[in-house]
Amino acid sequence: MKKYQNFVTNGFHFKPDQPEYWQTYLINNILLILIPIFIFLIILNIFVHRLYLIAFIDTVAILFAMFLLIYFHRKNDIKRTSLFSVILYTSLLIAYIIISGPSDYAFAWIMVFPPISYFLLGRNTGRLVTILSFIVIFMGILVFSPPWLSNDLNLLSFINLLFAAICVTILISFSELSRAKAYDFIKLKNEELMRLSHTDALTGISNRLKLDEVMMKELARIRRGTPHFSVLMGDLDLFKRVNDNYGHLAGDQILVEIASAITMICRLSDTVGRWGGEEFLIICPETSGEGAMILAEKIRRSVEMLPLHRYGTVTISLGVTQSKLDDDINTIIHRADKALYLAKSAGRNQVRSVFSTEIQLSLDETIVS
């Protein structure tokens, strides 16, 4: 079963949440099903019906289907493989109609054409190809007027069959439209759920889950040779007094304003998040420790100058660290936390840094007063 799943999904080249995954699944299964069907028809047409020309066409169809399978697994080209598959089916349909005529209800295969076109080519292209193919078949019958048209199947019968196929096409078109709208709606909801799962409910900035995810990506990037990133950890000074004196609703409003102020200062490429309580974490890709220190000081001054009206002045202490090749999330957070501890110990409303496993002060006096 695993080998089958691996084969019909082209080695899981596409993810299950992508539309291409199921299109790949469908293409492979259609081509796989065609091969045993045509083998059976070859045996039937050679040994029972003695229809050698049709048996030859069936043989060509098998070879073409096998070629498409090999091509698809090498190139993973869904669009071109889908088009070739539809061309294969259309050619077979026209050949069977010309050779067999109405005998054995050969025309019934027209009904299979719309779903194959829609499922393989998509709604818009599938509809266009289906309509054009029906026009070609209908015009071909009218122009060439084969001898069996007046005997076994009159023109009115053929028109009825063709219009039935058109009705099937219309129904499938509406079905595909509904499916596409449902897929877009589900995709939109999934994106909204993903955003909510990565967003702090109070401040609207990234939550701890998102911060961990971004940090993992940045650690992977530096191991591939990209420049190092820096992490800033900030904690509001004596924030418990604000909650005690003005209430938690006031404290929440202050957190929202401070989160907005920090976000305005940071770059779009930076990730600003709430680490917990009144703690903030900023991840700065491709940023040196010195650059992060400058940013931290801007944040410190911006928070201190916030017009919080009757709540007075709120300050923030920040710790800064820079990533290293042997880091994991715990080690880099540990250094940022140690740097924050140094800032608190120095009297709060300060910026300090720790850039190595040994706790050390790395503070430029011209930046931090």
Q: What percentage of residues in the chain have a pLDDT greater than 70?
A: 86
Give residue 354's pLDDT.
93
Choose between 283 and 51: higher pLDDT: 283
Average pLDDT value for residue range 304-320: 90
- Dist. CA 202–CA 23, nearest whole Å: 41
Does 358 fall in a domain?
no
Choose between 234 and 11: higher pLDDT: 234
End-to-end CA distance of the chain: 67
For residue 43, give both structure tokens.
Answer: 């045996």
- Residues composing the chain: 369
Does 32 fall in a domain?
yes
Give residue 112's pLDDT.
75
Does 346 fall in a domain?
yes
Does 182 fall in a domain?
yes
Give residue 369's pLDDT.
33
Q: What percentage of residues in the chain have a pLDDT greater than 90?
A: 42
Does 362 fall in a domain?
no
Structure confidence by residue, pLDDT tens digits, 67-89: 999 999 999 999 899 888 888 88
Instruction: Tell me: pLDDT of 362 over 50.
Output: no
**Same domain as 47, residue 174:** yes
Which of these three, 165, 195, 225, is where a domain ends?
A: 195
Residues with catalytic roles: 278
Average pLDDT value for residue range 356-368: 45
Give residue 168's pLDDT.
75
Torsion of CA 71, 77, 81, 82, to 10 degrees: 160
**Same domain as 185, residue 89:** yes
Instruction: Tell me: pLDDT of 159 over 80.
Output: no
Instruction: Tell me: pLDDT of 363 over 60.
Output: no
Does 328 fall in a domain?
yes
Choose between 87 and 301: higher pLDDT: 301
Q: Give which of 170, 171, 161 is closest to 138, Cα–Cα.
A: 161
Does 241 fall in a domain?
yes
Instruction: Tell me: pLDDT of 183 over 80.
Output: no
In contact, 210 and 199? CB cutoff 8 Å: yes
**Same domain as 161, residue 25:** yes
**Same domain as 185, residue 101:** yes
Structure confidence by residue, pLDDT tens digits, 160-178: 777 777 777 777 777 777 7
Structure confidence by residue, pLDDT tens digits, 339-361: 999 999 999 999 999 986 544 44
Instruction: Output phi, psi for 274, to 5 deg.
Output: -95, 115
- Dist. CA 29–CA 18, nearest whole Å: 18
In contact, 84 and 67? CB cutoff 8 Å: no
Quote the distance between the C-alpha of residue 161 and its chain's center. 41
Sheet with 279-284, strands from edge to edge, namely 271-276, 279-284, 230-236, 316-322, 351-353
Q: Supply the DSSP symbol for 110.
A: G
In contact, 330 and 319? CB cutoff 8 Å: no
Q: Which domain holds residue 232?
A: 208-353
Give residue 269's pLDDT.
94
Average pLDDT, the chain: 84
Element (H, E) at 116: helix 113-121
Does 28 fall in a domain?
yes
Structure confidence by residue, pLDDT tens digits, 97-155: 667 655 555 666 677 777 778 778 877 888 788 888 777 767 766 666 655 555 556 66
**Same domain as 102, residue 164:** yes
**Same domain as 339, residue 224:** yes
Which of these three, 130, 160, 195, is where a domain ends?
A: 195
3-state secondary structure 31-84: HHHHHHHHHHHHHHHHHCCCCHHHHHHHHHHHHHHHHHHHHHHHHCCHHHHHHH
319 contacts: CB under 8 Å, gap ≥ 6: 232, 233, 234, 335, 336, 337, 338, 339, 340, 341, 342, 343, 351, 352, 353, 354
Instruction: Tell me: pLDDT of 215 over 90.
Output: yes
Give residue 364's pLDDT.
42
- Dist. CA 321–CA 292, nearest whole Å: 8
User: Three-state SS for 193?
Assistant: helix
Choose between 243 and 281: higher pLDDT: 281
For residue 318, give both structure tokens.
Answer: 């920040």
- Dist. CA 237–CA 240, nearest whole Å: 8
Instruction: Tell me: pLDDT of 188 over 60.
Output: yes
State how many domains the chain has.
Answer: 2
**Same domain as 307, residue 178:** no
**Same domain as 101, residue 75:** yes
**Same domain as 56, residue 172:** yes
Q: Supply the DSSP symbol for 322.
A: E
**Same domain as 229, residue 182:** no
Alpha helix segments (H runs only) across 122-207:
123-144, 148-151, 155-197
In contact, 38 and 64? CB cutoff 8 Å: no
User: Three-state SS for 234?
Assistant: strand
**Same domain as 173, residue 281:** no
Give residue 141's pLDDT.
64
Q: How many helices (H) and strands (E) does the chain have?
A: 13, 5
- Dist. CA 110–CA 96, nearest whole Å: 11
Structure confidence by residue, pLDDT tens digits, 1-31: 778 888 888 888 887 777 788 888 888 988 8
For residue 226, give both structure tokens.
Answer: 């990209």
Q: Give which of 81, 79, 93 is closest to 130, Cα–Cα.
A: 93
Give residue 148's pLDDT.
55
Which of these three, 130, 163, 195, is where a domain ends?
A: 195
- Dist. CA 140–CA 148, nearest whole Å: 14
Instruction: Tell me: pLDDT of 227 over 50.
Output: yes
**Same domain as 231, residue 157:** no
CATH number of the domain that residue 246 is part of = 3.30.70.270
Instruction: Tell me: pLDDT of 336 over 90.
Output: yes
